[in-house]
């Protein structure tokens, strides 16, 4: 498991003013401090906010909680299935100091931004949560500047799903996989797709392509490092596969759900997605891949590639009035029982390390070893309160390069420059 790289400030006076004004002032100053001191003993009804419950796990969990806590009931506010919309909805509600967004699902890449703005209750002192049994990267991605700001809830690692009936041996490298595209052609289906719409998922897929080719978005010092032959090879892999049709044209509109649908409908030979797909692909009545579903590590240059670390944590809003209830709810979400439920019902990646070696669970869930490897080799995305600008720089340039509207070289050099300006204000 990799240590997260904090995006380091670039001391460039010219862009400093720009980035500071873009960050909107505010910050985690004194107001946030006093909000964080309110409501600590409060008990009563709370709301839990999360993106679309694709895996049908949230409702049963909340029913179970509500049956045991009639005076502290949780209401589920379900957002859309799109990562960027979820983010913007949370930002708007935090800005409005909405006391009814008590507990919210925080994507690992939003922790730094939300914590720096002073929106998340630090989970320390009276609000402390024991994280000792949790996978280290999940705790790190729920922390900012050494303080835990959310309870790790589900981890996420990229997986290569493939058609076992058509692919005799799973490919280990990108070139091997591309070499198998003739099988897709013979069967009249698309070869490979991940998520290439212009949103957070494209940052995930671009980083994976770069890391899997031996490059890195940030170097060991936390500086953007995109003008390298490895980064070029990574982005070039996506761009040329799109140009020659190995990645079908419609994939440029894919977020997770559209890709899953295409794969489940039997339209793709290989598909990059998260673990939640397993459960739906084997249980949904309409799935055409139920009995032929293969799962392996993402392909790399000379062997398995590197996934981008995904996942979500449950954060408590500083504006919540019922923080004692909220804390109990966080403990419930991270309990062994709930974590097992997430795994068995939704094929979501547990945050408790021991569950990956739990024999009973491993017998039930054949994908667990693949998932463990994926998470162990996963690379975090840049950690910075200016993440929205960083991800935008990656998405926009990768999108243009994949569509062939910008050369890969120009896209990478623009990405480099924009990430430098985004980090200048830190
Ligand atoms: C998944 C991941 C999350 C990522 C998102 C992108 O939800 O868990 O980390 O940002 O996909 O769409």
Task: Report the alpha-carbon distance of residue 23 to residue 94 in Å, rounded.
Answer: 15
Is there an atom of ligand 1 within 6 Å of 109 CB? Answer: yes
- Cα(107) to centroid of ligand 1, in Å? 7
pLDDT class for 253, splitting at 50, 70, 90? very high
pLDDT of 210 > 80? The answer is: yes
Annotate 46-104 with DSSP letters as a single string: EEEEES--TTS-HHHHHHHHHHH-TTS-EEEEE--S-HHHHHHHHHHHHHTT-TT--EE
- Cα(344) to centroid of ligand 1, in Å? 20
Q: What is the pLDDT, as a whole number, of residue 22? A: 39
Q: Which residue has the higher pLDDT, 362 or 24?
A: 362
Task: Report the alpha-carbon distance of residue 235 to residue 398 in Å, rounded.
Answer: 7
Q: What is the pLDDT, as a whole number, of residue 19? A: 39
Q: How much is the mean pLDDT over the chain?
A: 93
Task: Report the alpha-carbon distance of residue 21 to residue 285 in Å, rounded.
Answer: 51
Q: What is the pLDDT, as a whole number, of residue 33? A: 64
Is there an atom of ligand 1 within 6 Å of 311 CB? Answer: yes
Structure tokens at 323: 């923080």
Is there an atom of ligand 1 within 6 Å of 348 CB? Answer: no
53, 57, 80, 83: residue to mutate for ligand 1 pocket, most atoms within 8 A of CB: 83
Q: What is the pLDDT, as a whole number, of residue 5? A: 84
pLDDT class for 8, splitting at 50, 70, 90? confident
Q: For residue 51, which atom of ligand 1 is closest to its CA?
A: 7
Q: What is the pLDDT, as a whole number, of residue 373? A: 86
Q: What is the pLDDT, as a whole number, of residue 318? A: 98
Of 306, 308, 277, residue with least CA distance to 294: 277
Q: What is the pLDDT, as a whole number, of residue 136? A: 93
Nearest CA to ligand 1 atom 2: 310
Q: What is the pLDDT, as a whole number, of residue 13? A: 36
Task: Report the alpha-carbon distance of residue 273 to residue 350 in Å, rounded.
Answer: 17
First CA to last CA distance, the chain = 26
- Cα(300) to centroid of ligand 1, in Å? 20
Is there an atom of ligand 1 within 6 Å of 157 CB? Answer: no
Of 172, 157, 170, residue with least CA distance to 295: 170
Which domains does the chain show, CATH number per domain? 10-156+310-376 (3.40.190.10), 159-307+386-424 (3.40.190.10)
Is there an atom of ligand 1 within 6 Å of 310 CB? Answer: yes
- Cα(312) to centroid of ligand 1, in Å? 8
How many C-beta atoms surround the C-beta of residue 322 within 10 A?
A: 23
pLDDT digits 0-9 by tens, 54-100: 999 999 999 999 999 999 999 999 999 999 999 999 999 999 999 99
Judge contact between 106 and 117, C-beta under 8 A. Answer: no
Judge contact between 159 and 365, C-beta under 8 A. Answer: no
Which whole number is the average pLDDT over 348-359?
96
- Cα(20) to centroid of ligand 1, in Å? 27
Judge contact between 94 and 101, C-beta under 8 A. Answer: yes
Rounded to two decimals, what is the model's pTM? 0.94
310, 342, 383: residue to mutate for ligand 1 pocket, most atoms within 8 A of CB: 310
Distance, C-alpha 114 to centroid of its chain: 16
pLDDT of 172 > 80? The answer is: yes
């Amino acid at each position: 498991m990799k240590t997260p790289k904090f995006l380091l400030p670039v001391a460039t006076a010219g862009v400093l003013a720009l980035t500071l004004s873009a960050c909107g002032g505010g910050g985690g100053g004194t107001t946030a401090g006093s909000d964080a001191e309110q409501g600590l003993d409060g008990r009563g009804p709370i709301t839990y906010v999360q993106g679309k419950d694709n895996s049908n796990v949230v409702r049963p969990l909340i029913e179970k909680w509500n049956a045991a806590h009639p005076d502290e009931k949780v209401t589920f506010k379900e957002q859309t299935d799109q990562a960027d919309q979820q983010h913007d909805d949370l930002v708007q509600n935090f800005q409005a100091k909405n006391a009814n967004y008590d507990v919210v699902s925080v994507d690992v890449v939003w922790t730094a931004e939300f914590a720096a703005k002073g929106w998340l209750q630090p989970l320390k002192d009276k609000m402390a949560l024991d994280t000792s049994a949790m996978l280290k990267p999940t705790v790190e991605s729920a922390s900012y500047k050494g303080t835990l700001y959310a309870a790790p809830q589900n981890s996420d690692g990229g997986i290569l799903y493939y058609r076992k009936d058509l692919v005799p041996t799973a490919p280990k490298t990108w070139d091997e996989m591309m070499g198998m595209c003739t099988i897709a052609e013979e069967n009249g289906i698309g070869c490979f797709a991940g998520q290439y719409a212009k949103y957070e998922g494209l940052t995930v897929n671009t980083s994976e392509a770069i890391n899997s080719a031996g490059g890195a978005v940030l170097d060991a010092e936390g500086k953007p490092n995109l003008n390298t032959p490895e980064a070029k090879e990574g982005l070039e892999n996506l761009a040329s596969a799109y140009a020659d049709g190995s990645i079908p044209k419609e994939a440029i509109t894919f977020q997770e759900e559209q890709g899953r649908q295409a794969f489940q409908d039997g339209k793709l030979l290989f598909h990059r997605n998260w673990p939640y797909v397993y459960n739906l692909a084997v249980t949904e009545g309409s799935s055409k891949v139920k009995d032929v579903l293969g799962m392996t590590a993402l392909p790399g240059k000379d062997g398995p590639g590197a996934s981008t670390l995904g996942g979500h944590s449950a954060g408590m809003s500083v504006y919540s009035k019922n923080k004692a209830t909220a804390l109990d709810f966080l403990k419930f979400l991270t309990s062994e029982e709930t974590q097992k439920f997430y795994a068995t019902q939704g094929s979501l990646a547990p945050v408790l390390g021991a569950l990956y070696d739990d024999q009973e669970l491993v017998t039930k869930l054949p994908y667990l070893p693949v998932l463990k490897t994926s998470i162990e080799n996963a690379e975090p995305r840049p950690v910075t309160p200016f993440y929205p600008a960083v991800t935008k720089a990656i998405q926009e340039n990768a999108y243009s390069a994949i569509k062939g509207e910008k050369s890969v070289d120009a896209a990478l050099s623009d990405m480099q420059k924009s990430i430098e300006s985004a980090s200048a204000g830190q």
